Amino acid sequence: MNRNDELFERAQISIPGGVNSPVRAFRSVGGSPRFMNRAQGPYMWDVTGKRYADYILSWGPMILGHGNPEVLRAVHEAVDAGLTFGTATELEIQIAEEIRRLVPSIESVRLVSSGTEAGMSAIRLACGYTGPNKIIKFEGCYHGHSDRLLVKAGSGMLTFGHPSSAGVPAGITNDTIVLEYNNPAQLEETFRELGDQIAGVIVEAVGGNMNMVKGTPEFIHAIRDLCTKYGAVMIVDEVMTGFRVALGGAQSVYGSLKGRRRAGPRFRRPPRDHESDRAARPGLSGRHSFRKPCCRDGGSQDPAAHSGAGVLRPHHRHVEAPH
């Protein structure tokens, strides 16, 4: 038994499955996970001293390699200034401004801590803005582990041999419609049948948890057009693709989704003056990339209680709200 085996055996005593993410468990390939203890440039070394070419890149952040001098210098400067404040800072404004510059369709930014929080907030905003409660997602796409979205979510769940998560009450997922990825005809048929009940559609432009399946332009643009036609919200999950597929995100590859809106979409909330309704929702009048509201200081967890939405790190959910 080598050091990796010993650590895995030890980890299973204190950590469910011995890992903190199902995709690290090695169940589908056999053996013990590799426990890394150092990295430099394009390489990582495990606890036995074996070197590996790093194609994981910590799921994105290490795109410049480990120990990049410029990155380390910036990190040290930030640490020297203070680890965390729990207050507003100028740096978060700079980050938001840079994100808006890189992704022109983003009008406002809300920083949060995880993709799961982003997905939860996106769904809540879509339902609150439009009125209905049904959300469309696609088989194989992963949008975090919130109950409503943990349905046929790709490789993480399939590691355990389950297409969906046990322990999620059926009632919670009754309003989640799961369709086939890259099937615009099925999507159009669903909108024809249930259009007035659909609040939004959430999609990964490139499905990372189903082995990097790229959405076809026809499929992605069909989502945009149907959401506009029926007054639903389009949510582009760019937690994996943002700033990685391209600096401007996947939407820059597919063309501006912002520019594919049609005039006069039908809204399904109770009739009211459109402009006054939008004025009452200043943060919901355009397209937003966002995570959850920052609430560690006791603020509201409800995104509708805030005036904007946002992005964190190179991870974001991009929300297209129809006008």
pLDDT of residue 293: 32
pLDDT of residue 111: 86
Q: Are 200 and 127 in contact (CB under 8 A)?
A: yes
Q: For 272-319, write each residue's pLDDT tens digit.
A: 343 334 333 333 333 333 333 333 333 333 433 333 333 333 344 555
pLDDT of residue 272: 34
Q: Are 293 and 301 in contact (CB under 8 A)?
A: yes
pLDDT of residue 55: 92
Show the tokens assigned to 249: 């995100």
The pTM of this model reads 0.74
Rounded Cα distance between 29 and 160, Å, is 13
pLDDT of residue 197: 96
Ranges of residues in the chain whose predicted pLDDT is under 50: 156-163, 259-316, 321-323
Q: Of 263, 267, 258, whose CA–CA distance to 231 is shortest?
A: 267
Rounded Cα distance between 292 and 201, Å, is 18
pLDDT of residue 174: 85
Q: Are 315 and 237 in contact (CB under 8 A)?
A: no
Q: Is 54 left (phi over 0), alpha (psi -120 to 50) or beta?
A: beta
Rounded Cα distance between 237 and 204, Å, is 5
Q: Is 57 left (phi over 0), alpha (psi -120 to 50) or beta?
A: left
Mean pLDDT of the chain: 79
The residue written with tokens 């169940």 in the block is 27
